[in-house]
Amino acid sequence: MRYAIQAEGLVKRYGETRALDGVDLLVPQGRLLGVLGPNGAGKTTAVRILATLLRPDGGTASVGGFDVARQAHQVRSLIGLTGQYAGVDETLTGVENLVMIGRLLELSRADARARAAELLERFELTHAGGRAAKTYSGGMRRRLDLAASLVGRPQVLFLDEPTTGLDPRSRTELWSVVRDLMADGVTVLLTTQYLEEADQLADDIVVFDHGRVIASGTSDELKATTGAQVLEVRPLRPDHLDLVVQVVADVIAEVPTVTGGKAVASVRDPAVVPAIVRRLDDLGVVASELSLRKSSLDEVFLALTGHPAEDRQADAKEEVFA
């Protein structure tokens, strides 16, 4: 298999902080790798190294077979980057932004204009193409930024938290654009703090925490790592909740949490379900909901790290979104 992105043992230090502490990554051509991690985990640092914007203190990486340190020029000709710091010029119009990039990439004026029009159309920005980017909504800006990263038809695209700060509708729109790109065979490395986003888009996921990869695999594999499924039991009669909690606790030998009128517990052995059903039946308790589901990525993250995914704001520099 050919790998579009390969990294081995990447290290980056800022004083005492190890932004990256020996990171390995492998992305096969045409696949989307989701890099999932809380603020400050090292996602942007990894992207900046792979995009040749930052030199690692240790380790090696290649993109499209070119070494990011020694063959930065070749790497740059293959990649597109959409950063958290949006790359669009606020004072220029949508069209002007894209044409300018096309010209920087040495397209003829006519080709640059044609490419700009094509991209604006694709991102449903044609109507706004003549307006200054500063008048755009957050979702429109993010789409323009993504369009800008595609002017040079990159084979490998880095999307650094492309949907952070977007409303749910803009987020779903962006997801569909990313899916289109994947259908075109573009290799994508997408960073995100949203477990759902990685779940939706990524073929493979690596989980970053404190500059290290703490888990990797497909979404299903990650969900299976914790070995647990989640049992949820809701009694038809709310006043039966205590009984339900007692029965579940007896059967799984662990007290379930109570949330939204139901008992919720992590279980390893699905055979507990019939046992719970029998016990409830004996007690005359009717369940309006009784389900066993795979743990969510949120729950997986918690199980892997011992803290929720949103927990690590403290030492991360607050990033400003345009």
Ligand X SMILES: Nc1ncnc2c1ncn2[C@@H]1O[C@H](COP(=O)(O)OP(=O)(O)O)[C@@H](O)[C@H]1O
Site of interaction with ligand X (CB under 6 A): 14, 17, 19, 37, 39-45, 315-317
Looking at the Cβ atoms of 96 and 319, the one nearer to Mg ion is 319
Looking at the Cβ atoms of 36 and 201, the one nearer to ligand X is 36
Q: Edge-to-edge, what's the strand order for the sheet holding 17-28?
A: 17-28, 3-14, 58-63, 66-67
Q: Which of 82, 147, 51, 124 is nearest to 321 (CA)?
A: 82
- Nearest distance from C-beta of residue 284 to ligand X, angstroms: 52
Chain positions contacting Mg ion, by CB under 5 A: 43-44
- Nearest distance from C-beta of residue 194 to ligand X, angstroms: 13
Select the binding partner of residue 182 from Mg ion, ligand X, none (C-beta < 5 to 8 A, by kind): none
Select the binding partner of residue 223 from ligand X, Mg ion, none (C-beta < 5 to 8 A, by kind): none
Select the binding partner of residue 42 from ligand X, Mg ion, none (C-beta < 5 to 8 A, by kind): ligand X
- Nearest distance from C-beta of residue 196 to ligand X, angstroms: 18
> How far is 149 from 158, CA to CA, in rounded Å?
9
Burial of residue 174, with CB atoms counted within 10 A of its CB: 0-12 exposed, 13-18 middle, 19 or more buried: buried
Quickly tell me which residue has 């792979």 as its tokens. 50
Looking at the Cβ atoms of 39 and 170, the one nearer to ligand X is 39
Looking at the Cβ atoms of 37 and 152, the one nearer to ligand X is 37
- Nearest distance from C-beta of residue 311 to Mg ion, angstroms: 16
- Nearest distance from C-beta of residue 39 to ligand X, angstroms: 5
Per-residue CA distances from 102 to 80, 110, 132, 185 (Å): 13, 10, 18, 22
Select the binding partner of residue 317 from ligand X, Mg ion, none (C-beta < 5 to 8 A, by kind): ligand X
- Nearest distance from C-beta of residue 40 to ligand X, angstroms: 4
Looking at the Cβ atoms of 14 and 73, the one nearer to ligand X is 14
Select the binding partner of residue 246 from ligand X, Mg ion, none (C-beta < 5 to 8 A, by kind): none
> How far is 33 from 10, CA to CA, in rounded Å?
17
Say if residues 40 and 191 touch (Cβ distance below 8 Å).
Answer: no
State the CB neighbour count (10 A cutoff) for residue 156.
21
Looking at the Cβ atoms of 120 and 189, the one nearer to Mg ion is 189
Say if residues 143 and 94 touch (Cβ distance below 8 Å).
Answer: no
For 238-277, the DSSP string reads: GGGHHHHHHHHHHHHTSPPEEETTEEEEEES-TTHHHHHH
